[in-house]
Amino acid sequence: MERKRRMTSTCPGLYPGRRSSSEALLHLPNEATGRPQLVGLLPENDDEVIPEGAYITVLMHIGRTWQTLHTGFVTSSYYSPTLGRAFALALVADGLNRMGEVVVVPIGKKCCVPPSVTLYH
């Protein structure tokens, strides 16, 4: 008769995923890892629905030039008749600690004057 293999270890303290849960990155604060977090976006233009999948960028002054830094993307976006405005949800790096920050979402030919949005919880 063949013995069935056990899916769990008989040794105490060993379990599937043990090594992954002990990774150093999991114990750092969110600011150090820049982990993406779900936040709400409110466009400055109340009627403009941001396309889903659009990149969220921030402008950084590096040296003598301005650079755009990709910091997240829009997961869903709708116009709400109840609110009377458009809103969106997005995954943004370290999003919960960046509430109230204005970010830029370049949309098609509007790259020169991109709409800015404010992060909300």
**CA Rg value for the chain:** 21
Q: Tell me the percentage of the chain whose pLDDT exceeds 90.
A: 17
Gap between the Cα atoms of 80 and 98, Å rounded: 24
Domains present along the chain, CATH in parentheses: 34-120 (2.40.30.110)
- The DSSP secondary-structure symbol of 54 reads -
- d(Cα 119, Cα 71) in Å, to the nearest integer? 12
- The CA-CA-CA angle for residues 114, 80, 103, to 5°, reads 25
Whether 30 has a pLDDT exceeding 60, the answer reads no
Q: Which pTM does this prediction carry?
A: 0.65
**Model confidence over 37-93: pLDDT tens digits?**
888 988 888 888 889 999 888 877 778 887 878 889 999 999 999 999 999 999 988
